[in-house]
Structure 1
Amino acid sequence: MRLALFGATGGTGAQLLAQALTAGHQVTAVVRDPARVARPAPTGPGSTGASDALTLVPGDVLDPGAWAHALAGQDAVLSCLGSTDRRHPTTVYSQGTRNILGAMRGAGVGRLLCLSSAGLEIAPGTPLPQRLVTRLVVQRLYRHGYADMARMEALVKESDIDWTVVRPPMLTDGPPRRRYRTAVDGPPADGKPLSRADLADYLLTRVDDRSTWRTVVEIAG
Structure 2
Amino acid sequence: MEFQQKSQVYRLLVIGANGGIGRQCIEIALKAGHKVTAVLRNPANLTLAHHNLEVVQGDIMQPETFEKYLPNKDAVISAIGVKGGLLSDKPTTLYSQGNVNLLAAMSKMGVSRVFFISASAIEISPILPFFIRLVAKYIVQNLLRNMYDDLRKMEKLVKESDSTWTIMRPPQLTDKPVTGNYRFAINSFLKNCLSISRADVGHFIINNISNEATYQATIEIGY
Q: TM-score, normalised by structure 1?
A: 0.92
Partner amino acid for 2:169?
R
Contact 1:165-1:216 at 8 Å conserved across structures: yes
Structure 2 gap segments, 5+ residues each: 1-9
- Once the two structures are TM-superposed, the CA of residue 185 in structure 1 deviates from its matched residue by 2.6
For 2:176 and 2:206, the matched residues in 1 are separated by 18
- Once the two structures are TM-superposed, the CA of residue 61 in structure 1 deviates from its matched residue by 0.6
- Once the two structures are TM-superposed, the CA of residue 70 in structure 1 deviates from its matched residue by 0.7
For 2:216 and 2:89, the matched residues in 1 are separated by 32
Higher RCO, Cα 8 Å, sep 6+: 2
Selected match of 1:22 from 31, 51, 64: 31
For 1:196 and 1:165, the matched residues in 2 are separated by 15
Percent identity for Structure 1 against Structure 2? 41
Which SS does the other structure have where 1:93 is aligned? Answer: helix
Q: For residue 164 of structure 2, what is the aligned residue in structure 1?
A: 162
Which SS does the other structure have where 1:28 is aligned? Answer: strand
Partner amino acid for 2:21?
T
Q: For residue 52 of structure 1, what is the aligned residue in structure 2?
A: 51
Aligned-residue CA RMSD (Å): 1.1
The answer to whether the aligner puts 1:184 opposite 2:182 as a matched pair is no
Partner amino acid for 1:123?
S
Partner amino acid for 2:172?
M
Q: For residue 119 of structure 2, what is the aligned residue in structure 1?
A: 117
Q: For residue 214 of structure 1, what is the aligned residue in structure 2?
A: 216
Pairing 1:69-80 to 2, within 5 Å after superposition: 69-80=68-79
For 2:89 and 2:216, the matched residues in 1 are separated by 32
Contact 2:193-2:220 at 8 Å conserved across structures: no
Q: For residue 198 of structure 2, what is the aligned residue in structure 1?
A: 196
For 2:197 and 2:128, the matched residues in 1 are separated by 22
For 2:117 and 2:18, the matched residues in 1 are separated by 15
Which SS does the other structure have where 2:51 is aligned? Answer: helix
For 1:197 and 1:127, the matched residues in 2 are separated by 26
Structure 1 gap segments, 5+ residues each: 41-50
For 2:159 and 2:203, the matched residues in 1 are separated by 23
- Once the two structures are TM-superposed, the CA of residue 127 in structure 1 deviates from its matched residue by 2.6
Q: For residue 99 of structure 1, what is the aligned residue in structure 2?
A: 101
